[in-house]
Amino acid sequence: MKLSNTLLFRGLQDKKIDSILSCLNAEKHSYKKGEIILTEGSITENIGIVLSGKAMISCSDIWGNNSILSDIPSGSVFGEVYACIPGQPMLVTVSAVENTSILFMNVCRVLTTCTNACPFHIKLVRNLLTVCAHKSFQLSQRIQHTSSKSIRGRLMSYFSECAKQFGSNSFLIPYNRQQLADYLNVDRSTMCNELSKMQKDGVIEYNKNKFLLKT
Amino acid sequence: MKLSNTLLFRGLQDKKIDSILSCLNAEKHSYKKGEIILTEGSITENIGIVLSGKAMISCSDIWGNNSILSDIPSGSVFGEVYACIPGQPMLVTVSAVENTSILFMNVCRVLTTCTNACPFHIKLVRNLLTVCAHKSFQLSQRIQHTSSKSIRGRLMSYFSECAKQFGSNSFLIPYNRQQLADYLNVDRSTMCNELSKMQKDGVIEYNKNKFLLKT
DNA sequence: TAAAATCTGTTGTTACAACAACAAAAAGGA
DNA sequence: TCCTTTTTGTTGTTGTAACAACAGATTTTA
């Protein structure tokens, strides 16, 4: 993953990025599939950016129900919310969906006023704002997808968005069945059942992670 | 509502705020209880700040189910996500819960790079980042509160947060019953029923909007 | 202060989603 | 290749939440 291609570093040249990285004490870490990257309840002032692999943000209640808030593909950022609200313990857990390498950065310097107003820092703050807005937007979407009472309604809401984003009625989803169920906050087996029905009803077709939304 | 007391203008002096307002073409508008302020599907590059009254963010699906994402008390900001993602149509509707006056500001200037890097603009961008992070955090919380399968679980999750925020087991909630149900994504009557049961069970006590969480 | 409108609480019925338990298929390792 | 593990799909049962319909309480306003 090239950093200059990410939302966070968009518009910054490689040289500048390097100097920013050292300024922010960037550190690389690796995680195996399933490992926890940031734990619920912990406090962090670092943001992370996924260099390779994939992570996800989730939370679970006292009964062990697991909810996925969003996936974090390569190039995406996490922890920015908590970095921007110093001292706020995390409500969520970030974990590696596959073997993943992460670049952590301490963004305090960029956020506190004491910084010398160098144009790259300012650019970075603006980018961070964009990233934060996108995250917020994603969460709104997730809330929308889980607002329907019925499983079919939730699936359709999610699939509609996928189709829109892919620009095609045929698309891949980044989740397996259990993860999709956790994202939509429903029971996996019941959801599988509903998917079959939808296929029978001619609403969708699917094969593994590839779905076709029939109009 | 004094602007210098808001998160968005924190740390800026009244004089500076005035000059920023004129720079951002700030305009005041008034809305009657129930009126829609921003409609789902529309495009805006303005952010709004509630000067007096109260608003809320909601969305509704094709069946007419209404979901409340968050309330916007006096002094709070809305629309910042869409202002930061130019061209993105709104997924949600903002409406006035009571008679409300709103100050709209066009923040494009602050966001685009062409701005002269005056320190007040930079401060404003940083504040906007904080606001955006808070909004994201609020949405995470809402997702958590609706992740339980049971109504009681959802209520307890929400009440726990309220108690924590108030710093007391006794607290006021900003929603009436219908709104609370829409926030927690459950049926109002069933929720009322559950509230009674919880009171019978000695878990909570309540009177109108005042709740007591018994440990 | 009476009437209207809104909000809250209650009950019974019904539908649908959770759950458990298992079978089949696919992926991963030895 | 076979064996193990993980993932996906199926079925039946059960519980719980949605829904409808209404009564009582509270607020609004004429």
Q: What is the pLDDT of residues B55-65, one digit of tens each?
A: 999 998 877 78
- Which pLDDT score, from 0 to 100, does residue B215 have? 78
Closest chain B CA to residue A139: B139
- Which pLDDT score, from 0 to 100, does residue A110 have? 78
A170 CA to D4 C1' distance (Å): 34
Among the listed residues B20, B45, B42, B18, the one whose alpha carbon sits nearest the alpha carbon of residue B108? B45
Q: Which residues of chain A fall short of a pLDDT of 70?
A: 113-117
CA gap B80, B47 in Å, rounded: 5
B157 CA to C11 C1' distance (Å): 27
Q: What is the pLDDT of residues B197-207, one digit of tens each?
A: 999 999 999 99
H helix or E strand, kind and range, residue A61? none
- Which pLDDT score, from 0 to 100, does residue A87 have? 94
- Which pLDDT score, from 0 to 100, does residue B113 have? 56
- Which pLDDT score, from 0 to 100, does residue A119 have? 72
Using CB atoms, pick whichever of B65, B129, B147 lies closest to residue A132: B129
CA gap A2, A14 in Å, rounded: 9
Using CB atoms, pick whichever of B126, B135, B147 lies closest to residue A136: B135
Contacts of A36 (CB under 8 A, 6+ apart): A93, A94, A95, A96
With a pLDDT cut of 70, the percent of chain B lying above it is 97
Closest chain B CA to residue A82: B133
Most distant CA pair in chain A: distance in Å? 62
A28-32, A127-131, B66-70, B106-110: which has the minimum mean pLDDT? Answer: B106-110
Using CB atoms, pick whichever of A11, A133, A142 lies closest to residue B84: A133
Please state the rounded mean pLDDT for residues B70-80.
97
Closest chain A CA to residue B108: A126
Of residues A113 and B135, more confidently modeled: B135
List of B residues 81-140 with CB within 7 A of strand D: none
CA gap B185, A106 in Å, rounded: 37
CA gap A129, B135 in Å, rounded: 12
Q: Using beta carbons and an 8 Å cutoff, which residues of B are at the interface with A?
A: 11, 59, 61, 63, 65, 67, 69, 80-81, 84-85, 88, 91-92, 111, 113, 117, 119, 122-123, 125-126, 128-130, 132-137, 139-144, 146-149, 153, 157, 185
CB contact under 8 A, B69 and A133: no
- Which pLDDT score, from 0 to 100, does residue A116 have? 56
- Which pLDDT score, from 0 to 100, does residue B23 have? 87
Task: Tell me: pLDDT of B213 over 70.
Answer: yes
- Which pLDDT score, from 0 to 100, does residue B38 have? 97
Please state the rounded mean pLDDT for residues B73-101.
96
Give the count of Cβ contacts less than 8 A between chain A and B: 129
Do the beta carbons of residue A93 and residue A70 sit within 8 Å? no
CB contact under 8 A, A137 and B69: no
List chain B residues with CB under 8 Å of A140: 59, 69, 81, 91-92, 139
Please state the rounded mean pLDDT for residues B89-103.
96
The minimum CA-CA distance between A53 and chain B, rounded to whole Å, is 24
Strand C nucleotides, any atom under 7 Å from protein beta carbons: they are: 7-12, 16-22, 27
